[in-house]
Amino acid sequence: MPILPAKLPNAGTTIFTVMSALAAEHGAVNLGQGFPDFGADPALLQTVTDAMAAGHNQYPPMTGVPALRRAVADKLNALYGSAYDADGDITITAGGTQGLITALHACVGAGDEVIVIEPAYDSYDPAIRLGGAMPVGVPMTADYRIDWSAVRAAVTPRTRALMLNTPHNPSGRVASADDLRELGRIAEQHDLFVISDEVYEHMVFDGAVHQSVARFAGLRERSFLVGSFGKTFHVTGWKVGFVAAPPALSAAFRRLHQYTVFTVHTPTQHALAAYLADPAPWQGLSGFYQAKRDAFRAALAGTGLKLLPCEGTYFQTVDYGAVSDLPELDFARWLTTEIGVAAIPLSVFYQRPQQRRHVRFCFAKRDETLAEAAQRLQRGLRR
C-alpha cells in the first residue's frame, strides 16, 4: 500500500461523535451535541416536497438558487443596514462548516497565521491547518469576554485573518457593538480578513441585539459572514448555509466553492426561498429559545452547578467545581455514564486547555427532554 499523506496527523474523532456514542451506549440524555430533538415546521417540510414535485431536481446555479440569494440579501440588508447584492455577494453553501473552511482557504495560505478566539468551535483549527496556515489561539477572559489587548498582542506580520464567532459557541456570550468596533480597528490597522461565524444570529436573549459584521461598513468590506439555515429552522441535517461577502471576496470564495461542492441540494434551496417570505419563524426564535433557557436554568437550581451567563445560542455553560474535582473530559464521561446526562467539556475548544471545570449543555431540546435531564442532574448532583 502507498503511504498516506500526513494531513491533520493529530486529529482524532470529534468530541461530539465521542460523547453522542457514549450517551447512546449508556442511555443518557444527550445534551452534548448541538442539534434539536424536535421537528421542523411542517410547512417548511411541505415546501421541499412541493419543490421536488415542481421539477426542481437538477443542478441549480453554482452560487445558489437566485430566489434564495435574493431572500438572504434582503434579510441581511433590512436587519443590518448593509447593501449586499444577491448576485455578486451571496453564495449558498453546504452548511456553515463548508462556508467557514472555504472562506479560510480563499484568504489564507502557507505560512500565514489566523487568530482564533478561544474557546473556539472545533472545526476552526483543522480548517486553518488544511489551508497551510497556523491557528493562533487567544483565550477569552475568565468571564468569556474577548480580550482585545491579548488579540492585539497576538498580531504579527504573518497574521492574515481573524475568526469571530457571535453569538458564541460554546460560552453563550454575545459580542457588543464596542467589540465589533475594536475588531474593525484591529483589522483595518493590520489589513486583516475576518471570517465571522454568525450561525446563531437569531438566538439572542433578554432584548439584546445581534451585532453582525454586516452592520459596520469597514468590517463588512473585509469580512466573510457565515450563516446557517439548519440552526435557524431546526434542520441541522439539511446542511444548507450561506456566505455573504463583498464582490472581490465572493469571487475568491466561489473559485474554491465550485470545485469543492459546486452547489447545494436544489429543492431545499427553493423551499427555503419560499419559507423566508414569512419572517415570523426567525423573528420568534429568540423568544422560543429564551423560554427553554430560562426553564432549564431554573431546573438546575440546587444541583451545585454554577450557571454562567447565557446571552445567546442554545448552549448553557456551567462551572461544576463545587461538585467535582475531576478534569473536564473525565467529568463529562462520568456525568454521561453515572448520572445519565451527556455534556461537552470546554477543554476541547482550546489549543492549550485552561485550568477550569466547565462543561456545556445544549438546551435545543423538547421540554420533556430537558425536564428528564434536569431530574437526573438534581438526583445525582444535589448537595
For 15, other C-beta atoms within 10 Å of its C-beta total 18
Average pLDDT of the segment spanning 345-352: 90
pLDDT at 351 over 80: yes
Domain spans in the chain, listed from the N-terminal domain onward:
15-40+283-381, 55-280
pLDDT at 307 over 60: yes
- The 3-state DSSP class for residue 153 equals helix
Interatomic CA distance for residues 61 and 56, integer angstroms: 12
pLDDT at 13 over 80: no
Instruction: Identify the CA nearest to 200 among candidates 208, 192, 189, 191.
Output: 208
354 compared with 177, residue with greater pLDDT: 177
Tell me the fold of 15-40+283-381. Answer: Aspartate Aminotransferase, domain 1 (3.90.1150)
Please say whether the beta carbons of 173 and 317 come within 8 A: no
Q: Classify residue 280 by its DSSP letter.
A: H
* pLDDT tens, residue by residue, 53-94: 999 999 999 999 999 999 999 999 999 999 999 999 999 999
- Cell digits for 36? 434539536
Assigned CATH class of 55-280: alpha beta
pLDDT at 383 over 60: no
Task: For strands 344-345 and 90-93, give the pairing.
Answer: unpaired
- The 3-state DSSP class for residue 85 equals coil
Q: What is residue 175's predicted lDDT score, i.e. its pLDDT? A: 98
* pLDDT tens, residue by residue, 95-153: 999 999 999 999 999 999 999 999 999 899 999 999 999 999 999 999 999 999 999 99
Average pLDDT, the chain: 95
Where does the chain show beta strands of DSSP type E?
Answer: 29-30, 90-93, 113-118, 134-139, 159-165, 193-197, 223-228, 241-244, 306-307, 315-319, 341-342, 344-345, 358-362
Q: What is residue 200's predicted lDDT score, i.e. its pLDDT? A: 98
